Each structure stands twice: as structure tokens, then as C-alpha cells.
């Protein structure tokens, strides 16, 4: 994740198409849902600190709790004493917390991470608290041995007894956790390189048209342990947050802000949630994805404040053998 002081047509109607082409029915009262929420705002050195991952993790944990999830751990690195934490989000703590998420083979588990992401020629990573170290000379350095790859995190999650596994990442280059051969969307690794006026409506339509094919392929190739990944940005793309410099304060990562908004009551009908495209009382992971993607395009990519810096971004989604409820309302 990177800091930006900028914020901001919708393709939200396509969510209804997406919601209508699932392989499995969606339960209206999902049970046995367990979430691990991770936010790494303050690293061992101030040089690499971020602004809002602690707020992201707190807000996501609070919303999930109101939506019927059991938040098993809040691993949040923060200097804000008002934000509750169950410990430092180190490599070992994350591994342990994932392993203890569930003992129920019918459960749905979710891992949410907000913090630094990184990439090199071989791998994409998320960076836990101890992925950055301070030497005796007060210089910072990267402890790459503690960086977490897609293969490592997937291995941890697939070892947990569960029916559904969700991974949500608000970090730079997080699209690298989206397996390209089973991806729903067809957005490029760096959306900003498409040009500031390029519409991705065709990209999303193409993605939705192959959703059933993707889900069927996942059942065949991966079975029930496939992890569904929702990421803030492409594999060669930064994610951003907003500090209100231009008067549009989100106090969250851009992606997380709109993902949270998908679970809020609709202004036109308080009995429905904003991301509930087909008005069935729940917001699935696919509906939340389409909602957040549309709002980012409308309220971030479509503004002129940041065009000089090519700060456009587009969420990615892949994996899964069925659409799964993220928000279930009250």
C-alpha cells in the first residue's frame, strides 16, 4: 500500500448478471464463519510506516462482527491506543492464527490483510511486521525470509478445516495472489497503463461471461480447498489510501473503504445493503467485488486530482468453487 492524498461509469448493474450465474445457491443465514483480521501500520522503523492499515483492520473486524462473523484474532500493529489488538502481526503469529481459525469442515474462513505488499521477478509477497528489521545503526532493512508468498499463505489456509476459504488483501501488488488461469476479471497487471480514459466495462463483461467456466475449472482442478482471493490492485500496481488533504478524507485504504461500504445499509432501503445487487438480503464476495470495483472507478479513477501520477487501480478476484456470502445484514 502507498499513501496518496487524492480521491475521487459505474458498472454496478453488471453485478446482477454476476449474481445470477452462480453454480450454487447462496444461503440467506450463513453460519460458522470465522475471520482473521490483520493490519500492519507501524513497522519496526518509521520509514516504512503506513497511515491506515490499523483503521482498515479495525473497521473490517467491526463490520464482520456485526454481520455474523466470529473474528478470532485482530493482529494489528498500531500506535493508536484506541484500536484493540490481539498481538503483533508477525510471520509466526499470522501462521498460528490462520491454523487456529476453524476446526469445522463446514465453516467459511476469511483472512484479511492490510499493509505493505511487494514483488520481485519471481514472487509477490505480503509483508508482516517482522518483514522489516532495524539494525544497530538504526537503519532499516528487508527481512525477506519473513515475507509471505501466495504459495505459503495458500498452504496455511488449505490446511484449515473449512468448506470455503476467502482471502482479502489491501496491499500493493496484491494481484499477484490472484492466479491468472482462474481469474474472474481480465484487468491488466497495471490498470493505469491502459490510459486514463479507457473503460473497463468490456473487461468486466468478459469476466462475467466466463464465471461459470472458472468455477467449474476450480472444482475440477482444486476441489473444495480452493482459496478465493480478492485483491486491491494488480500484480504490478500500487494500492492507495487517502488522508483528506483534498477534502475527501476516507481514513482507510481506497479499496477497503469501498469494500466496507458494500456492507452498509442502502440509503434508499435500510433493509438492504449497498452491495446487494440482486436484493436477496446478502452481499456475496462477487457482489462486493463488483461494487468496490465500480466505486473505485467512479470515485477514484475518474477524478483528475491524481492523473499526473498514474494512480488508477482496479481490484482483482479469482478462485473459489462457489460464490460465498460476505455480508448478511442484520
- In tens digits, the chain (330 residues) has pLDDT values of 654 333 233 333 334 334 333 434 444 456 799 999 999 998 887 667 778 899 999 999 999 999 889 999 999 999 999 999 999 999 999 999 999 999 999 999 999 999 888 777 677 788 899 988 876 555 567 788 899 988 899 899 999 999 999 999 997 655 556 654 444 544 544 444 444 444 455 545 544 444 555 545 544 444 457 788 888 765 545 556 665 554 456 788 888 999 999 999 988 887 899 999 888 889 988 889 889 888 888 877 666 454 445 667 777 787 665 788 899 865
Q: What are the chain's domains?
A: 2-325 (3.40.50.1460)
Please give the backbone phi and psi of residue 312, each rounded to the nearest 5 degrees, phi first. Answer: -60, 145
C-alpha distances out from residue 182 to 206, 210, 221, 293, Å: 13, 10, 10, 19
Torsion of CA 248, 250, 255, 259, to 10 degrees: -120
Closest CA to 128 of 143, 150, 138: 143
Pairing of strands 2-4, 124-126: unpaired
Side-chain half-sphere CA neighbours of 80 within 13 A: 19
pTM of the model: 0.78
Q: What is the pLDDT of residue 18?
A: 40
Amino acid at each position: 500500500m502507498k499513501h496518496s492524498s487524492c480521491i475521487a461509469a459505474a458498472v454496478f448493474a453488471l453485478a446482477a448478471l454476476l449474481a445470477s450465474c452462480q453454480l450454487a445457491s447462496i444461503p440467506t443465514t450463513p453460519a460458522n464463519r470465522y475471520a482473521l483480521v490483520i493490519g500492519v501500520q507501524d513497522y519496526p522503523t518509521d520509514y516504512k510506516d503506513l497511515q491506515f492499515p490499523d483503521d482498515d483492520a479495525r473497521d473490517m473486524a467491526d463490520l464482520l462482527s456485526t454481520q455474523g462473523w466470529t473474528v478470532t484474532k485482530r493482529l494489528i500493529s498500531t500506535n493508536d491506543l484506541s484500536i484493540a489488538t490481539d498481538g503483533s502481526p508477525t510471520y509466526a503469529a499470522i501462521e498460528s492464527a490462520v491454523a487456529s481459525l476453524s476446526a469445522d469442515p463446514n465453516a467459511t474462513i476469511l483472512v484479511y490483510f492490510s499493509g505493505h505488499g511487494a514483488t520481485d521477478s519471481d514472487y509477490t509477497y505480503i509483508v508482516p511486521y517482522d518483514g522489516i528489521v532495524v539494525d544497530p545503526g538504526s537503519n532499516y532493512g528487508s527481512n525477506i525470509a519473513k515475507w509471505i508468498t501466495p504459495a505459503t499463505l495458500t498452504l496455511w489456509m488449505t490446511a484449515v478445516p473449512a468448506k470455503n476459504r476467502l482471502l482479502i488483501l489491501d496491499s500493493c501488488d496484491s494481484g499477484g495472489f490472484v492466479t491468472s488461469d482462474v481469474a474472474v476479471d481480465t484487468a491488466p497487471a497495471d490498470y493505469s497503463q491502459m490510459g486514463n480514459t479507457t473503460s473497463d466495462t468490456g473487461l468486466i463483461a468478459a469476466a462475467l461471461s466466463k464465471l461459470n467456466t472458472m468455477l467449474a475449472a476450480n472444482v475440477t482442478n482444486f476441489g473444495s480447498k480452493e482459496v478465493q482471493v480478492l485483491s486491491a490492485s494488480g500484480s504490478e500496481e500500487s494500492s492507495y489510501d487517502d488522508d483528506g488533504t483534498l477534502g475527501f478524507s476516507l481514513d482507510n485504504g481506497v479499496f477497503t473503504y469501498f469494500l466496507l461500504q458494500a456492507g452498509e445499509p442502502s440509503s434508499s432501503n435500510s433493509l438492504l445493503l449497498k452491495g446487494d445487487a440482486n436484493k436477496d438480503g446478502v452481499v456475496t464476495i462477487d457482489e462486493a467485488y463488483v461494487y468496490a470495483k465500480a466505486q473505485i472507478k467512479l470515485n477514484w479513477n475518474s477524478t483528475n486530482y491524481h492523473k499526473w501520477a498514474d494512480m488508477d487501480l482496479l481490484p482483482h478476484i479469482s478462485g473459489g468453487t462457489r460464490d460465498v456470502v460476505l455480508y448478511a445484514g442484520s
